[in-house]
Amino acid sequence: MMRLVGYVVLGVLAYAGFLIASFPAERAFALLNMEAMNVRAAGLSGTAWSGKAVLLQVEGRNLERVSWQVKPWSVLLGQLNIDVELDGTELAGSANVGLHADGLIQLSAVDLQVSAAEVSALLNTPVDLGGRFDVQLQSAELMGQLIRSAEGNIRWQRAGVVSPIAQPLGEFVAELTTEEAGVKGLVKDEGGPLQLDGIVMLSPDGAYDFNGSVGVRDRQQTMLVQGVQAMGRPGKDGQVPLQYSGRLQ
């Protein structure tokens, strides 16, 4: 008798899983009322568990050609685990996203390419940036807009200023690790006109501190030399010390 009950339960679960797995993505989007969360979608296809969107708009930012694959067993562990791929002009790559009921977001296997123009717009920088940011993280944790942990690196390839005056800067990398005080980033250049070396600390409450130095390798880069000199007085080594602090919004 108990074996028969077990078979019935398994059959019901299998049927329920089939219904959920085949539930259209467009209807799932509507039922979740994602527009109330300032998330909009266009060109939805597939299912709630495995689907695509030609465009997702999140907090006013456009994500092009997004696809997702939910790992069903993660639901039984109290979270939603999703493999996400993006194939946009400004943002492309893949990541595994873990969503928890308390709002915690866990990222792993992050491999993203972000245009510097997109970063410039996101950070509202006073100048337009050029190049591309390659983000490779083994893991990271976000709570709201705050970064709780991060392990990996971020590279700024073909770095430069596009406007108001075009100026190549070189290549830069930030190696990220997590300590008790927060996320630590070792920042350095990998060759090019601009020398940069420093340490940035990001605390769990969003406060950050940067301590480092900047200099110019090629003294014939007149505009770059003037720009660095405007940051402060150089030391005996010719480097200008830098110190910034603030809070992520």
Measured distance CA(64)–CA(164) in Å, rounded: 28
HSE-up (13 A, CA, CB side) for residue 210? 19
Structural domain that includes position 229 = 2-247
Instruction: Identify which has the larger pLDDT, 201 or 60.
Output: 201
Report the pLDDT averaged over residues 13-29: 49
| Res. 38 pLDDT band, cuts 50 70 90 | low
Among 22-31, 46-55, 165-174, 193-202, the minimum mean pLDDT is found in 22-31
Contact indicator for 62, 41 with CB cutoff of 8 Å: no
Please, is 150 exposed, middle or buried when counting C-beta atoms within 10 Å of its C-beta (0-12, 13-18, 19+)? Answer: buried
pLDDT of residue 50: 80
Measured distance CA(175)–CA(137) in Å, rounded: 10
pLDDT of residue 2: 34
Report the pLDDT averaged over residues 37-50: 75
Among 17-21, 37-41, 99-103, 138-142, the minimum mean pLDDT is found in 17-21
Percent of the chain with pLDDT over 70: 82
Q: How much is the mean pLDDT over the chain?
A: 80
Contact indicator for 206, 247 with CB cutoff of 8 Å: yes
pTM above 0.95, yes or no: no
Instruction: Identify the bridge partners of residue 52 per DSSP, sorted by sequence position.
Output: 45, 67
pLDDT of residue 25: 58
Does an H or E element contain 21, and which? helix 2-21
Domain count, the chain: 1
Nearest to residue 184, comparing CAs of 143, 152, 146? 152
H helix runs in 173-245, sequence order: 222-229
